[in-house]
């Protein structure tokens, strides 16, 4: 074809993405050809090796970029720079830990997923599949496909690539949300809500892409940024397109008023998927939001500042206030995640050079505490009157006295809650301090004052659960901590050590993220 220029692709720069994508495709082949009895073990090993290899590849590419500088890959569709590689490294670490929780089974061989996802809840087919001990080992390639989209999302250099990555990460999560072993109808309802609201958000995003293309004649972020000061008389297209793209991105991070899906999905999804989704999706979405905000939005700072400030304030206040009145642990953590999205938005709104590393550090600290907390939730189960252990004990009252019967589990949960609250000597404190400092440097002091007040109020519902666990008498023996194969214990241990290490010795990691403070324009 005349005029077609074949893009030069540096395949080495795509190594982290290709490793995870290749493992996901291989996982599909495992489902087709490996005998049923060996599928789960094969998928677990494959998934863990893929995420570990992706992390190694990210470290390798970091050394290359440090020597040669950032570069555009696939004709600018993918950007290999410091913030993209840091986001990918954080995703690799968090997904490795998250997959450990996903892969774990109880002492009687039961995991968190329905024996047959396609069977109607309560049907004979579902009962037969449960009795036969079937497992949904296809959850592992679905997780890897979602991770593939997450790895591309913060590195996307144009809006179409960003949209494709958004869909690739979202579609597997819609399926995984509906696969809970118990409370099947609630799980499927959550999956449907997530799908419908996610589809609306995607429609807003692609409409925004169309308007921005109409404004600038390009979908590349750098091209749109260059067109902002040059194009006069088309500000309506520019502002409308930017706002619509921001709606799609803010939906994924769970910011108010685009948060309605969060509590229902967090509660209905299998708890290991909730932890993976809550941690990794936020890293990917905030990585993409950072790139869009720091490349395109600076030219529109005065126009968008009232909107972004209002969303940040609403997100912090609504998430905190509604979390206070929750009686379900998973819903409390869901509204907590909404409040944290508001705190992280301060690093985005700052539009200051320190906002990028501060936001990435916060996301790492938040992700470790989130996966650890939901990992603990998977172990705390209800005990019926005849001593049978059933589903997860998610009502707050069921956690009373847990610290006396199972001090290690309760201590780990308390550590994660203290990190969420931003208590000193935890990673959460360093993350909040970094983000708040960046916001002050960026002139958003008022937002920081509101964030500090919201953090103080949020400490109430975190401390309430700690008091229940350690200082409240249990009402009988209605709760038990199940023994498992140990993978969740390993994951919780890693998250606890990471939370303490980042809180006590944050210097090396802060220095590392500080080296990636500028996006490739």
3-state DSSP of 141-194 = HHHHHHHHHHHHHHHECEHHHHHHHHHHHHHHHHHHHCCECCCHHHHHHHHHHH
- Per-residue confidence band for 462, with pLDDT thresholds at 50, 70 and 90: very high
> Between residues 395 and 435, which one has the greater pLDDT?
435
Check whether 228 has a pLDDT greater than 90.
no
Check whether 234 has a pLDDT greater than 60.
yes
CA dist 99 and 122 (Å) reads 28
Task: Tell me the backbone φ, ψ of residue 381, rounded to 5 degrees.
Answer: -120, 160
Which residue is listed with tokens 């050394």?
63
Which residue is listed with tokens 């290749």?
22
Contact residues for 521 (Cβ-Cβ < 8 A; gap 6+): 222, 225, 295
Q: Is residue 225 part of a domain?
A: yes
- pLDDT for the residue numbered 317: 95
Q: Is residue 507 part of a domain?
A: yes
Q: Which residues face 80 on adjacent strands?
A: 71
- Per-residue confidence band for 520, with pLDDT thresholds at 50, 70 and 90: low
- Per-residue confidence band for 132, with pLDDT thresholds at 50, 70 and 90: low
Q: Is residue 157 part of a domain?
A: yes
Number of domains forming the structure of the chain: 1
Q: What is the mean pLDDT of residues 367-395?
A: 83
Check whether 18 has a pLDDT greater than 90.
yes
- pLDDT for the residue numbered 398: 86
- pLDDT for the residue numbered 229: 77
CB 514 within 8 A of CB 357: yes
Q: Which residues face 78 on adjacent strands?
A: 73, 156
Check whether 418 has a pLDDT greater than 70.
yes
Q: Is residue 520 part of a domain?
A: no
CA dist 364 and 383 (Å) reads 35
Q: What is the mean pLDDT of residues 465-484?
A: 82
Residue 344 belongs to domain spanning: 11-514
- 113-117 contacts at long range (C-beta below 8 A, 24 or more positions apart): 113/139, 113/179, 113/180, 113/181, 113/270, 114/179, 114/180, 114/181, 114/184, 114/187, 115/181, 117/175, 117/178, 117/179
Give, as one character, the DSSP assignment of residue 220.
Answer: B
Strand, coil or helix: what is 390? Answer: strand
Taking CA 289 as the corner, what is the angle to CA 283 and CA 292, rounded to the nearest 5 degrees? 145
Check whether 77 has a pLDDT greater than 60.
yes
> Between residues 179 and 298, which one has the greater pLDDT?
179
Reduced DSSP (H G I as helix, E B as strand, rest coil) percent helix, strand, coil of the chain, to 5: 75, 5, 20
Mean pLDDT is highest, among 279-283, 353-357, 438-442, for 279-283
- pLDDT for the residue numbered 75: 80
- pLDDT for the residue numbered 50: 96
Check whether 476 has a pLDDT greater than 70.
no
If you average pLDDT over every residue of the chain, what do you get?
88
- Residue 300: C-alpha distances to residues 43, 211, 308, 438 (Å): 47, 15, 11, 20
Q: Is residue 3 part of a domain?
A: no
pTM above 0.85, yes or no: yes
Q: What is the mean pLDDT of residues 461-469?
A: 92
Q: What is the mean pLDDT of residues 351-368?
A: 91
- pLDDT for the residue numbered 130: 67
Check whether 2 has a pLDDT greater than 90.
no
Q: Is residue 313 part of a domain?
A: yes
- pLDDT for the residue numbered 185: 85
Q: Is residue 387 part of a domain?
A: yes
Q: What is the mean pLDDT of residues 115-141?
A: 74
CA dist 450 and 387 (Å) reads 47
Check whether 452 has a pLDDT greater than 80.
yes
Q: Which two tokens stand for residue 346?
A: 């301060």
Q: What is the mean pLDDT of residues 149-169?
A: 94
- pLDDT for the residue numbered 521: 53
- Per-residue confidence band for 455, with pLDDT thresholds at 50, 70 and 90: very high
Q: Is residue 286 part of a domain?
A: yes
- pLDDT for the residue numbered 288: 94
- pLDDT for the residue numbered 453: 94
- Per-residue confidence band for 460, with pLDDT thresholds at 50, 70 and 90: very high
CA dist 474 and 378 (Å) reads 19
Contact residues for 370 (Cβ-Cβ < 8 A; gap 6+): 275, 278, 279, 333, 337, 416
- Per-residue confidence band for 232, with pLDDT thresholds at 50, 70 and 90: low
- pLDDT for the residue numbered 133: 66
CA dist 495 and 368 (Å) reads 5
Q: What is the mean pLDDT of residues 49-78?
A: 90
CB 479 within 8 A of CB 398: yes
> Between residues 230 and 16, which one has the greater pLDDT?
16
Mean pLDDT is highest, among 5-19, 248-262, 384-398, for 248-262
Taking CA 241 as the corner, what is the angle to CA 81 and CA 160, rounded to the nearest 5 degrees? 45
């Amino acid at each position: 074809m005349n005029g077609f220029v074949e893009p030069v692709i540096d395949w080495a720069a795509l190594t982290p993405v290709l490793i995870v994508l290749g493992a996901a495709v291989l996982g599909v082949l495992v489902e087709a050809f490996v005998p049923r009895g060996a599928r789960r073990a094969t998928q677990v090993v494959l998934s863990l090796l893929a995420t570990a290899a992706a992390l190694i590849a990210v470290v390798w590419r970091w050394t290359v970029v440090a020597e040669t500088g950032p570069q555009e890959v696939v004709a600018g569709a993918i950007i290999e720079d410091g913030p993209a590689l840091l986001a990918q490294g954080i995703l690799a670490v968090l997904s490795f830990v998250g997959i450990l929780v996903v892969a774990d089974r109880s002492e009687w061989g039961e995991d968190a997923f329905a024996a047959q996802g396609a069977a109607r809840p309560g049907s004979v087919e579902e009962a037969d599949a449960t009795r036969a001990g079937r497992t949904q080992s296809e959850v592992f390639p679905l997780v890897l496909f979602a991770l593939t989209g997450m790895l591309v999302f913060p590195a996307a250099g144009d809006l179409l690539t960003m949209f494709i990555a958004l869909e690739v990460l979202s579609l597997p999560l819609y399926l995984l949300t509906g696969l809970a072993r118990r409370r099947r109808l609630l799980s499927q309802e959550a999956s449907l809500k997530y799908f419908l609201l996610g589809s609306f958000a995607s429609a807003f995003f692609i409409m925004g892409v169309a308007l921005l293309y109409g404004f600038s004649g390009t979908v590349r972020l750098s091209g749109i940024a260059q067109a902002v000061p040059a194009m006069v008389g088309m500000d309506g297209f520019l502002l409308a397109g930017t706002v619509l793209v921001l709606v799609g991105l803010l939906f994924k991070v769970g910011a108010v008023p685009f948060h309605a899906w969060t509590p229902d999905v967090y509660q209905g999804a299998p708890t290991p998927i909730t932890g993976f989704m809550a941690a990794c999706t936020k890293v990917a979405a905030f990585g993409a939001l950072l790139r869009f905000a720091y490349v395109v939005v600076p030219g529109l700072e005065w126009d968008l500042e009232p909107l972004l400030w209002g969303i940040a304030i609403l997100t912090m206040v609504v998430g905190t206030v509604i979390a206070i009145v929750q009686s379900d642990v998973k819903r409390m953590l869901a509204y907590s995640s909404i409040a944290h999205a508001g705190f992280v938005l301060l690093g985005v709104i700052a539009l200051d050079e320190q906002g990028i590393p501060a936001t990435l550090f916060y996301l790492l600290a938040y992700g470790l505490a989130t996966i650890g907390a939901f990992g603990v939730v998977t172990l705390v189960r209800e005990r019926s009157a005849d001593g049978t252990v059933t589903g997860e004990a998610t009502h707050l009252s069921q956690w009373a006295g847990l610290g006396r019967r199972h001090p290690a589990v309760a201590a780990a949960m308390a550590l994660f809650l203290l990190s969420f609250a931003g208590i000193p000597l935890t990673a959460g404190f360093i993350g909040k301090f970094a983000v708040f400092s960046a916001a002050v440097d960026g002139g958003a002091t008022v937002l920081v004052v509101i964030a500090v007040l919201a953090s103080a109020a949020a400490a109430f519902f975190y401390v309430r659960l700690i008091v229940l666990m350690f200082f409240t008498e249990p009402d009988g023996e209605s709760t038990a901590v199940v023994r498992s194969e140990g993978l969740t214990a390993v994951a919780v241990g890693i998250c606890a050590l990471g939370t303490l290490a980042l809180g006590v010795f944050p210097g090396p990691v802060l220095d590392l993220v500080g080296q990636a403070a500028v996006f490739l324009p």
